[in-house]
Amino acid sequence: MDDHSLGVLMKFDHYMPVPIHFGWGRLSELGEVAASLGRRALVVIGRGSVRRSGALDRALDSLKGAGVEAVVFEGVPPNPTSMVVYEGARLARSERCDLVVGLGGGSSVDCAKGVAVAAVGDRPVWDYVTGELPKKALPVVAVPTTAGTGTEANPYAVLTNPDIKEKRALNRPPFTYPRASIVDPELTLSLPPRQTAITGMDVLFHALEAFVGNRSQPVVAAMAEQAIRGVARFLRRAVRDGADREAREGMSWACTAAGMAINGGGTTALHGMEHPVSTHLDVSHAEGLCALSGPYLRYLVDV
């Protein structure tokens, strides 16, 4: 790999304000973290896996133990839509929530970011995607249960507008940065092999794209390298044996490191090409990336 720290006349900005609480069992600290940000949390989850795994109960216990009330918003689909965000925001307002917890895969956390903006904004969330600047947002705590999007370490929330068949990132720092993220590898233990594999490839492509992109800089390169090495070492192991704790931990860190890499470096044409694919076809983001990666990587080798 090129050493991006050896450049001359470097000029770059770096900003990553999210406190990351990384380690086994740290879901138990959710209540303490949340209590520093609010008193009544909207807990945004997907379609039931965090219920089945017990993660939701543990999260609710932790919140209750710290004196934080919780309202659960359940049913976020794999590609969260502006309509789902609207429903979540409406619930947050009617329940007078002052905090949003995103517990689940990237879709739940991204939806939580959208809800946090829409709940206190006076416009539909898509206006904030396309250019309107929020004046405020509820604080978000991100608790990822997959090693995939890295949304816990950046201000991006990928949302879909089904009316115009468009998928774009809500990217409104500082409001869409989580105010804190809990990255607990234990939460990934129940992820099935296929999901582990494709979300792990999302990690790889975040790191690769940030590294080769024209906004790469030393911090981006360092985080990307951590992520690429982590995927190379641990992804196969995590797919073959989901109970391999060292591999799960390695992938959780690779995911967060890749999230930090795209925080500074962004993504490139591969993610740009993928978003229309998973908007128009019934595939996940990671499946779309895998399908497009062959031609993209051949293009990279050529340039």
CB atoms near residue 136 (< 10 Å): 10
Of residues 134 and 200, the one with the C-beta less far from Fe ion: 200
Query: What is the smallest separation between the CB atom of 286 and Fe ion, expressed in angstroms?
Result: 7
Q: What is the DSSP letter of 27?
A: G
- Choose the stretch contacting Fe ion; rule: CB under 5 A; options: 71-79, 121-129, 171-179, 200-208: 200-208
Query: What is the smallest separation between the CB atom of 258 and Fe ion, expressed in angstroms?
Result: 9
Distance of alpha carbon 234 from alpha carbon 252, whole angstroms? 10
Fill in the amino acid letter for 126.
Answer: W
Query: What is the smallest separation between the CB atom of 149 and Fe ion, expressed in angstroms?
Result: 6
Q: How many residues bind Fe ion (CB under 5 A)?
A: 1
Buried b (16+ CB within 10 A) or exposed e, 12-21: eeeeeebebb
Of all residues in the shown chain, the one whose CB is closest to Fe ion is 202
- Choose the stretch contacting Fe ion; rule: CB under 5 A; options: 58-66, 159-167, 195-203, 235-243: 195-203
Query: What is the smallest separation between the CB atom of 203 and Fe ion, expressed in angstroms?
Result: 8
Q: Could you tell me if 238 and 200 are in contact, meaning their C-beta atoms sit under 8 angstroms apart?
A: yes
Alpha helices in the chain (DSSP H): 30-35, 49-52, 55-65, 82-94, 106-118, 125-130, 193-212, 218-240, 245-265, 269-280, 285-302
Determine, following the binding rule CB under 5 A, whether residue 184 of this chain makes contact with Fe ion. Answer: no
Distance of alpha carbon 63 from alpha carbon 20, whole angstroms? 18
Distance of alpha carbon 2 from alpha carbon 14, whole angstroms? 20
- The closest of 215, 210, 204 to 254, measured between CA atoms, is 204
Of residues 139 and 200, the one with the C-beta less far from Fe ion: 200
Of residues 209 and 249, the one with the C-beta less far from Fe ion: 209
Determine, following the binding rule CB under 5 A, whether residue 202 of this chain makes contact with Fe ion. Answer: yes
Query: What is the smallest separation between the CB atom of 206 and Fe ion, expressed in angstroms?
Result: 6
**Phi, psi torsion values for 70, nearest 5 degrees:** -135, 140
Query: Which residues inside 223-242 make contact with Fe ion, applying CB under 5 A?
Result: none
Of residues 30 and 158, the one with the C-beta less far from Fe ion: 158
What is the separation of C-alpha 276 from the centre of its chain, rounded to a whole number of angstroms?
19
Distance of alpha carbon 102 from alpha carbon 143, whole angstroms? 6
Query: What is the smallest separation between the CB atom of 163 and Fe ion, expressed in angstroms?
Result: 23
Determine, following the binding rule CB under 5 A, whether residue 110 of this chain makes contact with Fe ion. Answer: no
Query: What is the smallest separation between the CB atom of 285 and Fe ion, expressed in angstroms?
Result: 6
- Choose the stretch contacting Fe ion; rule: CB under 5 A; options: 89-97, 171-179, 202-210, 224-232: 202-210
The site for Fe ion (CB under 5 A) is made up of: 202
